[in-house]
């Protein structure tokens, strides 16, 4: 009998947050993807299993003994409106694995059949969107951005019905935890303060163990989440990542990116960029993400109010003060990221702020490809300005900005030998060449759906080396044709 050594700490700590449930059996499980290195990192025996066994276990058809799956319950603000009960409609938490570093990591299925929280959903998932979750998660991980990751994808051999029948799949997701802002909102809305407290204690044990037992630990937890999210969103912004559906049920307490529905990487720089088909008003546009994160964190703060202080006014003051920390924390993380993206090591204050803002204004005016333009700075630092001139057509404006940049770099280098080479190398480690380009992702998923996994595997291999200067990666670095991007839409409810 295969074994998955999982603990069930969440179900034990927050019983009102978990409902025991079994995955639905699938007719013909076939392994499409398995991340052996991740399995090893998690210390799972599964790292050594053959494909047939992996397909059996990670489709849910043959759950190892001792695994007791649960559906997790949560609420959430979806596009600003509160839904008091969402929960895992098509997902199951299998349990927590203790990884090689001694940290607990959640293992969860997605697409494993309807649960009591499925509402009108079928509980299923399709191959394309689950492989998409693999690609985007691995892309973010390779860029050094905190993210949940896929461990396995198994085709079920059964169609799922969307606008048309699609091949079905079950994904296994690994997460620092699946605690969401919406999990706190669920208990707060029901005024179940015992569960709310148990959840906060559990979150502290999982993510901020240094706070355990501290007198003001709940406000400290709130502050820690705010700090993690500020850092995360700054990282998204600095690679042009658009999450697409930043509802509070899709925002983690851990600070990891979660739920890859209509997400996409921006190509031409424009803060108003939206790809999601359901985001009609651009609530979750690229440039709105920091403000939305803060809005979501205010919902977390509200949910935590009953724990912050017995005096309601004092609780509100603590919560407000904490939420106000988001904007400066975000701004400083984002600025530090942007300085690094310009190859600067030191903080030049107002001069750098102007340099960064004028650079972004230049990109916006010329609708330059965000990733290519930044990567071209590495070439420019190494003495080759051609890629940059290619990326930004307004040559006069570019020359004026470049002169200021060179002056700022010279000031930082103070004549130090090798400083330019070091800057070029630094830039090439910060500004990726390869991102998950929308046309490449779609091409890989269309082929996978038709049974050919080769383009998916090639793309995945490229996404794992985002900073490499290998000419073979060039097809994955090229932006889509503008006609493609104009029409491009990503879909939710996948
Ligand atoms: P998402 O937009 O993926 O974050 O999902 C929002 C909510 O809808 C969550 O409660 C999901 O569990 C639920 N959901 C999404 N798709 C399905 C489905 N096909 N069947 C059941 N529930 C679903
Ligand atoms: Mg979700």
Reduce the secondary structure of 291-339 to three states and give it as a string: HHHHHHHHHHHHHHHHHHCCCHHHHHHHHHHHHHCHHHHHHHHHHHHHH
The reported pLDDT for the residue numbered 487 is 83
Average pLDDT, stretch 423-433?
A: 97
- pLDDT tens digits, residue range 388-422? 999 999 999 999 999 999 999 999 999 999 999 99
- The number of the ligand 1 atom at minimal distance from the alpha carbon of 493 is 16
**Contact present, 448 and 131 (Cβ < 8 Å):** yes
Q: Length of the chain, please?
A: 494
- Using the mean position of ligand 2's atoms as its centre, give its distance from the Cα of residue 250 in Å: 5
- Give the phi and the psi of residue 151 in degrees, each rounded to 5: -95, -40
Q: How many CB atoms lie within 10 A of CB 42?
A: 23
Backbone angles phi, psi at 150, to 5 degrees: -85, 135
pLDDT higher than threshold 90 for residue 486: no
pLDDT, one tens digit per residue, over 239-280 is 999 999 999 999 999 999 999 989 999 999 999 999 999 998
Is residue 493's pLDDT more than 70? no
Phi, psi of 369 (to 5 degrees): -65, 120
Per-residue pLDDT at 321: 98
**Could you report the per-residue pLDDT of 120-142, keeping only the tens digit for each?**
999 999 999 999 999 999 999 99
CB-based pocket (< 6 A), ligand 1: 86-91, 114, 118, 121-124, 245, 249-250, 259, 261, 492-493
Tokens of 22: 């079994």
CA–CA gap between residue 374 and residue 74 (Å, rounded): 39
The pLDDT of residue 491: 67
Cα 20 to Cα 11: distance, rounded to the nearest angstrom:
9
Q: What angle do CA 476, 134, 429 make, to 5 degrees?
A: 50
| 394 DSSP assignment | -
Q: Could you count the other beta carbons within 10 Å of the beta carbon of residue 90?
A: 21
Distance 123 CA to ligand 2 centre (A): 13
Token code pair at residue 341: 């993206």
User: How many angstroms separate the CA atoms of 28 and 157, rounded?
Assistant: 5
Question: Is the separation of the CB atoms in 358 and 392 below 8 Å?
Answer: no
For position 68, what pLDDT does the model report?
97
Q: Is 394 a catalytic residue?
A: no
pTM of the model: 0.97
Average pLDDT over residues 180-194: 98
Using CA positions, which residue lies closest to atom 8 of ligand 1? Answer: 89
Active-site annotation holder among 106, 208, 249, 267: 249
Task: Return the percent helix, strand and coil in the chain, to nearest 5.
Answer: 50, 15, 35
Q: Measure 253 CA to ligand 2 centroid, in angstroms.
A: 14
- Ion ligand 2 contact residues with beta carbon within 5 A: 250, 259
Q: For 286-328, what is each residue's pLDDT tens digit? A: 999 999 999 999 999 999 999 999 999 999 999 999 999 999 9
**Average model confidence (pLDDT) for the chain?**
96
Atom of ligand 1 nearest to the CA of 78: 6
């Amino acid at each position: 009998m295969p074994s998955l050594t999982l603990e069930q700490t969440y179900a034990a700590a927050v019983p009102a947050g978990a409902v025991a449930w079994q995955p639905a059996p699938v007719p013909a499980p076939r392994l499409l993807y398995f991340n052996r290195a991740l399995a090893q990192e998690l210390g799972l025996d599964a790292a050594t299993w053959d494909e047939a066994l992996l397909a059996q276990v990670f489709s849910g058809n043959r759950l190892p003994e001792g695994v007791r799956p649960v559906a997790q319950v949560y609420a959430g603000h979806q596009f600003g409106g509160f839904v008091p009960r969402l929960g895992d409609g098509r997902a199951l938490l299998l349990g927590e694995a203790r990884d090689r570093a001694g940290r607990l990591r959640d293992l969860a299925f997605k697409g494993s059949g309807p649960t009591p929280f499925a509402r009108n959903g079928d509980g299923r998932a399709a191959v394309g969107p689950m492989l998409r979750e693999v690609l985007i998660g691995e892309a973010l991980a390779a860029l050094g951005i905190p993210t949940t990751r896929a461990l396995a994808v198994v085709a079920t051999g059964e169609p799922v019905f969307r606008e048309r029948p699609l091949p079905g799949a079950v994904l296994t997701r690994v997460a620092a935890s699946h605690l969401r802002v919406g999990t706190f909102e669920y208990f707060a809305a029901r005024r179940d303060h015992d569960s709310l407290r148990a959840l906060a204690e559990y979150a502290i044990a999982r993510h901020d163990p240094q706070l355990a037992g501290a007198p003001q630990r709940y406000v400290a937890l709130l502050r820690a989440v705010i700090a993690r999210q500020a850092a995360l969103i700054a990282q998204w912004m600095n690679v042009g990542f658009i999450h697409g559906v930043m509802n509070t049920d899709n925002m983690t307490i851990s600070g990891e990116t979660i739920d890859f529905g209509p997400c996409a990487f921006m190509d031409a720089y424009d803060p108003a960029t939206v790809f999601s088909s359901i985001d009609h008003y651009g609530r979750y546009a690229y440039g709105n993400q920091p403000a939305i994160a803060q809005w979501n964190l205010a919902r977390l703060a509200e949910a935590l109010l009953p724990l912050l202080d017995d005096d309601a006014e004092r609780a509100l003051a603590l919560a407000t003060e904490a939420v106000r920390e988001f904007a400066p924390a975000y701004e400083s993380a984002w600025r530090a990221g942007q300085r690094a993206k310009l190859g600067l090591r030191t903080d030049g204050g107002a001069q750098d702020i102007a340099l960064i803002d004028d650079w972004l204004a230049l990109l916006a005016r010329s609708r330059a490809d965000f990733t290519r333009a930044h990567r071209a700075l590495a070439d420019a630092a190494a003495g080759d300005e051609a890629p940059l001139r290619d990326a930004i057509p307004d040559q006069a404006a570019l020359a004026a900005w470049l002169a200021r940049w060179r002056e700022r770099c010279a000031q930082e280098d103070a004549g130090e030998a090798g400083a330019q080479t070091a800057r070029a190398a630094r830039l090439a480690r910060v500004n990726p060449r390869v991102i998950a380009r929308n046309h490449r992702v779609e091409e890989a998923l269309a082929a996978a759906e038709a049974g050919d996994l080769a383009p998916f595997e090639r793309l995945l291999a490229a996404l794992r080396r985002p900073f490499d200067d290998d000419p073979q990666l060039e097809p994955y670095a090229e932006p889509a044709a503008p006609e493609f991007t104009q029409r491009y839409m990503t879909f939710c409810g996948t």
